[in-house]
Structure 1
Amino acid sequence: MESFPVINMENLNGEKRAITMDKIKDACENWGFFELVNHGIPPELMDTIERMTKGHYKKCMEQRFRELVASKGLECVQTEVHDLDWESTFHLTHLPVSNISQIPTLDDDYR
């Protein structure tokens, strides 16, 4: 079985750039996602962002989801929701235009 694409960001600067760009293109066209390694983002920062994301969803989004389920007459689904990966439904864009101002429920530290 083929494993999903892993892109080494260190290869973007140097003679492996073209191969790496081809891997990114293939991943986008054929997989829809990829893992980035050697991107230079400290693990501590990534852990903090994950904690804040989960906290945001715990506080805001879970209740909205339950209200949506109730409004659709799917109350039975609520009892089946236990441990969803909320961050998979959270999207921020920064370029070309940031949408962060459209999410008023974000804490200042999270912004």
Structure 2
Amino acid sequence: MASFPVINMENLNGEERAATMGKIKDACENWGFFEVNHGISPEFMDNVERMTKEHHRKCMEQRFKEMVASKGLEAVQSEINDLDWESTFFLRHLPVSNIAEVPDLEDE
């Protein structure tokens, strides 16, 4: 039984680019997915996850406070079950970063 493809994205920069692109093509055509080995340290990824969750928590807290202030607590209580608690945003680094467009980000 074949194991699913793991693609080392670091190989896109250098002599192995063509072979890596071939592996990506094959994985997409034959598997529909692949695991990415991106070379980013687990510690850095854990830090990004922690900061993302903290940012999300602060945003949701602020939204709740604004709703209470504008509608009163009684009106908010009836809407709590219907709130959309998901907040998403898309960050891009290349070719041009959009990080400055994300509201309320701390410098870290």
TM-score range, shorter chain: 0.5 to 0.7
How is 1:9-88 mapped onto 2 (pairs within 5 angstroms)? 9=9, 11-12=11-12, 13-14=14-15, 17-25=17-25, 31=32, 34-37=34-37, 39-61=38-60, 64=63, 76-78=81-83
| TM-score (norm. length: structure 1) | 0.55
> Match of 2:36, SS?
strand
Distance in 1 between residues matched to 2:35 and 2:53, nearest whole Å:
20
| Counterpart Cα distance in 1 of 2:23 and 2:61 | 36
- Sequence identity (%): 63
Q: How many residues of Structure 1 are paired with residues of Structure 2 in the alignment?
A: 93
**TM-score w.r.t. length of structure 2:** 0.56
Q: CA deviation at 1:93?
A: 1.0
Instruction: Write the distance in 1 (CA, Å) between the matches of 2:26 and 2:104.
Output: 36
Aligned to 2:70: none
Which consecutive unaligned segments of at least 5 residues does structure 1 have?
Answer: 68-73
2 CA distance for matches of 1:47 and 1:64? 26
Q: Indicate the structure (1 or 2) with the bigger Cα radius of gyration.
A: 2
- Structure 2 unmatched ranges of 5 or more: 68-78
Alignment RMSD: 4.0
